[in-house]
Structure 1
Amino acid sequence: MHNLLYAQSDVKRSTTSMEETGMWYGAYLKIRFSEKLGYYGEHHWRTRNDIDNVWSFSGRPRQMYNRFGLNIMFNDYFEAVIGPTLVMNFSPDMDSDAYDKVTYEPRIWHQWLFKMPKMGRVKMYHQFRFEHRWKRKNDVGEDHDYTNRYRYKIFGYIPINSKEIKEKSWYFSPSAEIFMHSGESIVNNPMEDFRTYNGFGYVMNNTLTFFVGHMFTYGQKSSGYEYKTSHILRFNVYIGLDTRKIEDKLPKINLGY
């Protein structure tokens, strides 16, 4: 009985705390080189709340994030990307000598994007992203830690002022994404994060789209029984370019009988 009572008292209760707010600014670039190949890039500047005010959303730099990739279009319903990433992680306290001011985190990533047939006015997507990361904390003297990250995201586009998304269209985009990871340092916390990201976009023209949204995150700490949440405001611009000749951009017409 004594051992049973001891075991019950030693059980850790799960806790959840709201730890961060932030503002993320992103530029997404897609360039079409040919029918099958293109360039994909993501470039982010991310801030987080001031040390003394968790609801300030800004006050400290968090990350500079640059992702590059070769975009391969297999058909109208499936495309993939593969390439490198370089992340700059800034110190949680820029005035403290206990932390390096910035650390560099290289990654290799690849992504599969499945485009679903249109359902009425709604277009849905399934995205699988895999990242191989060499990450280190900002603590002085820390070594790089190799981990793998596995992400699945479902998201959609719903036009608001038109039947389909085109120039001058407003649209709503909801999404949900789960992050799992593995590695020698990952023992009790296989679920790195869960995110919901919802917002509104405006298509200015065929090249330029603006988007603003709110992201909520729910992540597992290394203990396994502690969880953290955050609220992030995101502001994005999407740039799409096509370097093909005008005749290559026109839809193909089937002349065979």
Structure 2
Amino acid sequence: MQIKLLLPTLLLYTVYSFSQHPTESTTKLEETGIWLGSYFKVRLNDKLGYYSEHHYRERNALNNVNSFIGRTRQIYNRFGLNIFVNENFEIVVGPTLVFNFSPEPGNINFEKYTVEPRIWHQWIIKSPKIGRVKFIHQFRFEHRWKRSNVVDAEHDYTNRYRYKIFSYIPLNKDVIEPKTLFFSPSAEIFMQSGSSIVRNPMEDFRTYNGFGYVVNKSITLFAGHMWTIGQKSSGYEYKTSHVFRFNIYIGIDARKMADKLPKINLGY
């Protein structure tokens, strides 16, 4: 019941947030970028697997929001133990290590990069197919120890709560299989809490839509556009961004590989 109430609660809060300070609120495009990502998923046995993500994120040059590249934003590494509860429900838990680069490269008042460790866990819930369309719900929780790039800044502990709904819609076939082109729309809301979070609990809202191509059973390519909007610390100012994302997904089923390996007789 709590999970069913979470989405409408978050959506109502989003509407409420945007309604505050109607004569003072401002929205500004602050960032553009290009993100490159790789995703790995290895099925070890019927219940366990290995999961990881590795991202390189570039953002626009300083004072040129139309450039999309010019400054390294983040190098992002997420790892996890994948637990398959059943075919429609899985859990991932593990560590994350993020390198956050200076917003002003060369400025001696900023460190070149800071290291941000996190602990994260998520639930993936797959809904029954409706025709060709399958909806997937992702609940992700992150515990972060982050530092500003300002020299000698202290660590700031915050929690982040994310809900994402997305789907895969095959375009040239009835089901997603090798040689399938598909469309994937998604929407995700980010909420946050912590001693430093006072007026800006809505960290981000994202729409991410793109097209994918299933090369074979192990490799899928994906490219899309992401638009974001989030509260600044004032609570009534909002920042937006436009990002183009290019990803590769690699999935390996080690169970099938084990079946193909020759048996070794260790008895002499």
How far apart, in 2, do the equivalents of 1:247 and 1:89 lie? 40
Residue 11 of structure 1: CA displacement? Answer: 9.5
Residue 141 of structure 1: CA displacement? Answer: 1.0
Residue 177 of structure 1: CA displacement? Answer: 0.1
Q: Give the aligned partner of residue 250 of structure 2.
A: 239
How far apart, in 1, do the equivalents of 2:23 and 2:120 lie? 36
1:44 and 1:109, CA in 2 relative to 1: closer, same or farther beyond 3 A? same
Q: Does 1:154 align with 2:165?
A: yes
How far apart, in 1, do the equivalents of 2:149 and 2:175 lie? 46
Letter in 1 for 2:93: I
Q: Give the aligned partner of residue 183 of structure 1.
A: 194
How far apart, in 1, do the equivalents of 2:61 and 2:22 lie? 34
How far apart, in 2, do the equivalents of 1:113 and 1:188 lie? 30
Q: Give the aligned partner of residue 6 of structure 1.
A: none
Consecutive aligned runs of 4 or more in structure 1 exceeding 6 Å deviation:
none
Q: Give the aligned partner of residue 210 of structure 1.
A: 221
How far apart, in 2, do the equivalents of 1:120 and 1:232 lie? 31
CA contact (8 A) 1:12 1:225 kept: no
CA contact (8 A) 1:37 1:70 kept: yes
1:246 and 1:52, CA in 2 relative to 1: closer, same or farther beyond 3 A? closer
Residue 242 of structure 1: CA displacement? Answer: 1.3
Deviation per CA, 1:107-157, whole angstroms, max 9, x where unpaired?
000000000111100011010000000001100010000000000000000
Q: Give the aligned partner of residue 171 of structure 1.
A: 182
Q: Give the aligned partner of residue 108 of structure 2.
A: 97
Residue 53 of structure 1: CA displacement? Answer: 1.2
Q: Give the aligned partner of residue 139 of structure 2.
A: 128
Q: Does 1:69 align with 2:67?
A: no
- Aligned pairs, number: 240
Q: Give the aligned partner of residue 150 of structure 2.
A: 139
Percent identity between matched residues is 67
Q: Secondary structure at the match of 2:195?
A: coil
When Rg is computed on C-alpha atoms for both structures, the one with the higher figure is: 1
- 213, 217, 221: which one pairs with 2:232? 221
Q: Give the aligned partner of residue 30 of structure 2.
A: 19
Q: Secondary structure at the match of 1:114?
A: strand
Q: Does 1:32 align with 2:43?
A: yes
How far apart, in 2, do the equivalents of 1:148 and 1:52 lie? 31
1:123 and 1:248, CA in 2 relative to 1: closer, same or farther beyond 3 A? farther
Which structure 2 residue ranges, 5 or more long, are not aligned? 1-20, 261-268
Residue 244 of structure 1: CA displacement? Answer: 1.2
1:122 and 1:11, CA in 2 relative to 1: closer, same or farther beyond 3 A? closer
Residue 245 of structure 1: CA displacement? Answer: 3.9
CA contact (8 A) 1:210 1:238 kept: yes
Which structure 1 residue ranges, 5 or more long, are not aligned? 1-9, 250-257
Residue 247 of structure 1: CA displacement? Answer: 8.2
Q: Secondary structure at the match of 1:52?
A: coil
The structure with the largest helix share of the pair is 2
Q: Root-mean-square deviation (CA), in Å?
A: 1.5
1:247 and 1:49, CA in 2 relative to 1: closer, same or farther beyond 3 A? closer
Letter in 1 for 2:123: W
How far apart, in 1, do the equivalents of 2:38 and 2:130 lie? 29
1:11 and 1:234, CA in 2 relative to 1: closer, same or farther beyond 3 A? closer
Q: Give the aligned partner of residue 209 of structure 2.
A: 198
Q: Give the aligned partner of residue 263 of structure 2.
A: none
Taking structure 1 as the reference length, what is the TM-score of the superposition?
A: 0.91
Letter in 1 for 2:158: T
Q: Secondary structure at the match of 1:244?
A: helix
Residue 248 of structure 1: CA displacement? Answer: 6.6
